[in-house]
Amino acid sequence: MGETVEFPDRDGRERTVITDGFFEREVFRSGPETARFLRALADAVEEGPRVTVSGTDWEIPFEYAEPIEVEIEFTSRRERELEIEIVFTEPDTGGGLSVE
């Protein structure tokens, strides 16, 4: 297994590498398709600390630090909804103390 996790909309076209700015994509997939994506993500996280998520025409290479934030949200206001969010944060490369 590698660090690349293909988002379920990939079809092999040329991709743009996203390393800055804002990007958001939503897809709707079956349970088995979602499970395959989550297994690939889990494998990449286990190998860590880098993951590349890619779709049809985009890819996001990302190096992350631990701990990884997992947020669980449930609501039943209009319709019942369970949201699971995984937040990867880049490593802190500065701000440490040192004595020379």
61-97 residue pLDDT tens: 999 999 999 999 999 998 999 999 999 999 987 666 6
For 72, the domain range is 4-89
Residue 1 pLDDT: 45
49 CB-near residues (< 8 Å, 6+ apart): 63, 64, 65, 66, 91
Q: Which of 70, 72, 74 is nearest to 88 (CA)?
A: 70
| In-domain check, residue 12 | yes
Count of structural domains, the chain: 1
Residue range 47-67, pLDDT digits in tens: 999 999 998 899 999 999 999
Q: Which two tokens stand for residue 86?
A: 């995984």
| In-domain check, residue 97 | no
pTM for the structure as a whole: 0.75
| In-domain check, residue 33 | yes
